[in-house]
Amino acid sequence: MTEALLKQFPQLRLIPQSNQVRFLHTRIRDATSSREDYVFFADRLIRLIVEEGLNCIPVADLEVNTPTQVPYNGVKSVHGICGVSIMRAGESMEQALRETCRGVRIGKILIQRDETTADKAPDTRFSYSKVPLDIHERIVFLMDPMLATGGSAAKAAEILIDKYKVKEENIIFLNVVSCPEGLTNFSSRFPKILVVTSAIDDGLNEHKYILPGLGDFGDRYFGTTH
């Protein structure tokens, strides 16, 4: 299934499935992991996802002089970068972006979902947004750790494109765990948005939860599980 999705959607990037990535997933998926361990290992994994996203931004050639007076042919970013987190779980990904992009600007989008029906994807409703004024001139890292049905991510992308005039090809969606249903829904609607994820799980159950998944990412990260 994973290989078929990667072939069907060339805009999909699955970070290398190294032993270290598998180890981090093992720790955050373990139901017995403490909150402290969960946050620590989730932060390490998110950092890898952000770094992979940065590998995908457009660059231009730049030559600099080294201390040995020998020039080095490097690169520079073509556009400014900003992050937009889908509240609340997406806020867990902000720190990794701040640590890798000095002075990065970060916006917020709140999407409320009606999950009262289990036989269809939850309805999504836009409630709030606050983004940099020049967001349409920047590469936007849209951040949400879980891609289940794809409804919230699709609504957020729609807001960025329609309300804030961000070019579709300037959006990179950073995600921790996804599933075939969500990827198909999202990538079919937004074929120019690059999706960077660290896992493609088996699918959704009848309640639209990702399996095997890891539970509610936001609740476990922020310590609001009951």
| Buried/exposed 119-134: b ≥16 CB within 10 Å, e otherwise | eebbebeeeebebbee
Say if residues 183 and 5 touch (Cβ distance below 8 Å).
yes
Rounded Cα gap, residues 145 and 55, in angstroms: 19
Catalytic residue among 43, 113, 184, 189: 113
Cβ within 8 Å of residue 56, ≥6 positions away: 13, 172, 194, 196
Catalytic residue among 2, 105, 189, 216: 216
Catalytic residue among 26, 98, 117, 125: 117
Q: Is 219 a catalytic residue?
A: yes
Q: Is 98 a catalytic residue?
A: no
Give long-range contacts, CB 8 A cutoff, 24+ apart: 213-218.
Answer: 213/29, 213/146, 213/177, 214/25, 214/28, 214/29, 214/177, 215/31, 216/89, 217/42, 217/89, 217/92, 217/145, 217/146, 217/176, 217/177, 218/88, 218/89, 218/92, 218/145
Cα separation values, 125 from 85, 105, 110, Å? 16, 25, 9
| Residues designated catalytic | 113, 117, 216, 219
